[in-house]
Amino acid sequence: MEVGLACVFSPDPSARAHVDDMARQLVSLEDTDRNAIDTAPLALRMRTATWTAPAVARDPASGCTLILLGRAWLGGQDIPAASLLQGFLRDGPPALTRLGGSFGILVWQPQTETLMAVTDRLATKKIYAWNSGDTTLLSTELRALLGHPRAPREIDGMAVEQFLITSHLIDTRSLIRDVRVLPPATIARIDRTGLSFERYWAPSIKPGHDDGLDNWADRLGDALSCAVRARCGDAPLLLPLSGGLDARSVAAFIPPAVAANATTCSFGHRHCYDVRYGRRIARTLGARFSRLPIPEDFFRRYLEPVQMLCDGEVSIEALPIYRLIEAGHPGQTMLMGYLGDALSGGHLLGLEDTRNPESQLDAVWRKKYQSKGFSEDLLAQVMLPERYQAIKGSTRALMQAALDEAAAETLDEKALVVELHHRQSRYISYFGRLLSSRYRVENPFLDTDVLDTFLSLPLVHRQEQRAYRRMLVRHAPRLAAVPENKTRRPVTYADAHGVNPASAMNTPGVLLPTGMQWRQRKIRRLLDGLLVSASGGWLGSHNRNHYVHHDESIRRTDPEWFRTQLLDNPCAADWFNVPALERLFEEHITRKQDHSTRINNIVAFLTWRETAGI
């Protein structure tokens, strides 16, 4: 997002004439530089934040121009656009396929009238593309691509199903039919014959030789240490902290003097575990810490700017991260740890304990795709029948096909491979787009050595994140002494005794007859509510795992606003059964069910439609 781009490749001058219409739709940033290329059949416009490194390099002899979106890394070095162009001129496209980091690279070769685009391994820098015959539109933002009069403006129903079920999109679709994001690890070539793709890498899990837990923990530590230290400069870092393992795993390898000078923060209410444990991690690092509270009306307040930055794909889980926009100054380096939890085994489902293949697939579907989103049955109730029948089962079919093709031995590991592209790349892209509009965002887990090392981890050390935890115990024992969200105990405890999720601890048995249990729950909820209110959330059966309470923001903070957005939106009636939406809303308000994620997803979709005029 620090670099915005709009591009038309067409031999038709009337098509290229609208490139400025596209560019005007790019998100505005303060203090930007602008570049342009107008060499038939290419018309391209760029805006670049002044605090980023030069994004354009040109070779006078060949006329080749290279554009770098984001940052590319190789062997612990940040490779600038000029060096990337030299490598390309010397070695051709393979020079751009060995890189780590979060990037997109475009190379214009006027001698052959070819535009080449290269995405990183997970396509974390989204580039939207639409092609019809000899005309191709490219843009870093969907709204900019839609600024061209030839761009399609029909909603993709399969993308809608993906979003309402999973809270994000899972393949290369956008919310607009026939507009796609360029695939991960791909070389795309655009010329007068159209648009073609070549894949240069695909994730696979091929466990290395198992020479013991300590050795594998050290391998992870060595790879991550090099990647983290390479991204630490002399200027103070911005380091978001949480109660999970990823943030402290990045912090573990920051040089002590740099860590002590960092600005650290956590967002959420005072009593949530991310804030409580994040503060303790900062104290261990000797760094200053601040808590960034989330406003009670965060969804209403953040929805418009986040949708603009994320092209309508707003996940309720990701939305509060926008709060970090106020944490530092423009151009400051922010170190993020997203991806580590998935790579290290935190999302494994333990499918080896289930022998029934159908039950295994159902577990993958429920836990990695549906989660708190719509079930297929519930979606059939709230969508108009003609809309739902046209897309029914498309997301599940996509999951099945991806699992069949995944390069791994066990279904649990196949699900991890698929998750990298179906979920992780989308979430990293969301976070990156939100935050790179202001910061130089770096994620050490996107380093090729780090990614390859984690993917070669033997399953026995990936289970319960054994090697990841042992890495912290061996390389950062003081950080390992801080409790973690999952167990609410120090990492050292789980390393020694295994993982026993906190949610499974001290679960009381049910002693009352079934007919009386609802009374018990009602009384307990009332007493807990009083205790939570009196203690400010520190005591009582209160959910401290999340930094914001999605369910209560609908019930207490903004019920009328949510009702209006859900039921009175003029865009609702041609996609949804409005009486079914009303029942859904009432079930949530009366606490019969928690539909918060489902309500938020529909409101986000309807608001995007209204804003985009589609």
CA distance 603 to 567: 9
Contacts of 488 (CB under 8 A, 6+ apart): 273, 502, 505
The answer to whether residue 26 scores a pLDDT higher than 90 is yes
Q: Pick from 83, 32, 123: which is nearest to 427 by CA?
A: 123
Residue 112 tokens read as 């052959």
Q: How many C-beta atoms lie closer than 10 Å to residue 348's C-beta? A: 19
CA 338 – CA 497 distance, rounded (Å): 26
Closest CA to 251 of 291, 223, 285: 285
Crossing angle, helix 596-612 and helix 298-310, to 10 degrees?
50
Q: pLDDT of 429-468, one tens digit each?
A: 888 888 999 999 999 999 999 999 999 999 999 999 999 9
Cα separation, 126 vs 69, whole angstroms = 10
Instruction: Say if 3-199 and 213-345+418-497 have the same CATH topology.
Output: no
- pLDDT, position 351: 85
Phi, psi for 154 (deg, rounded to 5): -105, 135
Q: How do beta strands 65-74 and 100-109 pair?
A: antiparallel
* 240 CB-near residues (< 8 Å, 6+ apart): 247, 264, 265, 266, 267, 324, 327, 334, 336
Q: What is the 3-state secondary structure (H, E, C) of 478-492?
A: HHHCCECCCCCCEHH
pLDDT at residue 532 in the model: 54
CA distances for 406 relative to 181, 184, 423, 424, 459, angstroms: 21, 15, 15, 15, 16
- Secondary structure of residue 254 in the 3-state scheme: coil
What's the average model confidence in pLDDT over 511-524?
A: 61
Topology, domain 3-199 = Glutamine Phosphoribosylpyrophosphate, subunit 1, domain 1 (3.60.20)
426 within 8 A of 170, measured Cβ to Cβ? yes
3-state secondary structure string, 569-614? CCCCCCCECHHHHHHHHHHHHCCCCCCHHHHHHHHHHHHHHHHHCC
* Between 167 and 503, the higher pLDDT residue: 167
Q: Which pLDDT band, with edges at 50, 70 and 90, does 548 fall under? A: confident
- Integer Cα distance of 201 and 418 in angstroms: 14
What gap in Å lies between CA 246 and CA 274, rounded to an integer?
Answer: 12
E strand or H helix at 136, and its extent? Answer: strand 135-139
DSSP three-state, residue 97? coil
What is the pLDDT confidence band of residue 509, given thresholds at 50, 70 and 90?
Answer: very low
**Do 130 and 136 meet the contact criterion of CB atoms below 8 Å apart?**
yes
Mean pLDDT check: name the lowest of 173-177, 348-352, 488-492. 348-352
At residue 551, the pLDDT reads: 86
pLDDT at 520: 65
d(CA 83, CA 73): 11
**How far is Cα 93 from Cα 448, in angstroms, rounded to an integer?**
17
Cα gap 14→474, rounded to integer Å: 63
Q: What is the pLDDT of residue 443?
A: 96
What single DSSP character describes residue 96? G
Q: What pLDDT, on a 0 to 100 scale, did the predictor assign at position 446?
A: 96
Task: Quickly tell me which residue has 């050390």 as its tokens.
Answer: 461
| More confident call, 552 vs 567 | 567
C-alpha–C-alpha distance, residues 572 and 37, integer Å: 42
Report d(CA 540, CA 533) in Å as an integer: 9
| Cα–Cα dist 142/83, whole Å | 30
Could you report the per-residue pLDDT of 50-80, keeping only the tens digit for each? 999 999 999 999 999 999 999 999 988 999 9
| Domain residue ranges in the chain | 3-199, 213-345+418-497, 351-414, 517-612
Task: Give the amino acid at 110.
Answer: P
Question: One-letter amino acid identity for 293?
Answer: P
**Beta-bridge partners for 290:** 265
Read off the pLDDT of residues 37-46 as tens digits, 9 standing for 90 and up: 999 999 999 9
Give percent above pLDDT 70 in the chain: 92
What's the average model confidence in pLDDT over 522-539? Answer: 59
Per-residue pLDDT for 174 more than 80? yes
Q: Mapping DSSP to helix (H, G, I), strand (E, B) and coil, where does residue 594 land? A: coil
| Dist CA 531 CA 514 (whole Å) | 26
Q: What is the mean pLDDT of residues 383-393?
A: 96
Both tokens of 141, joined, read 């933002």
Q: Per CATH, the architecture of 213-345+418-497 is what? A: 3-Layer(aba) Sandwich (3.40)
Tens-place pLDDT, residues 272-331: 999 999 999 999 999 999 999 998 888 899 999 898 888 988 777 778 889 999 999 999
User: Which is more confidently placed, 507 or 185?
Assistant: 185
Given CA atoms 60, 63, 67, 71 in this order, what sign does their dihedral have? negative
To which residue do tokens 């709060």 refer? 323
- The pLDDT score that the predictor gives to residue 259 is 96
Query: Cα(313)–Cα(508) distance, rounded to whole angstroms?
Result: 40
Q: What is the pLDDT of residue 502?
A: 55
Give the chain's mean pLDDT.
Answer: 91
What are 409's two structure tokens?
Answer: 């031995």
Q: Which of 451, 561, 544 has the alpha carbon at shortest distance from 503?
A: 544
Q: Please determine, for residue 399, whether its predicted confidence score (pLDDT) is greater than 50.
A: yes
pLDDT band, residue 506 (cuts 50/70/90): very low
What's the whole-number mean pLDDT along residues 459-487? 97
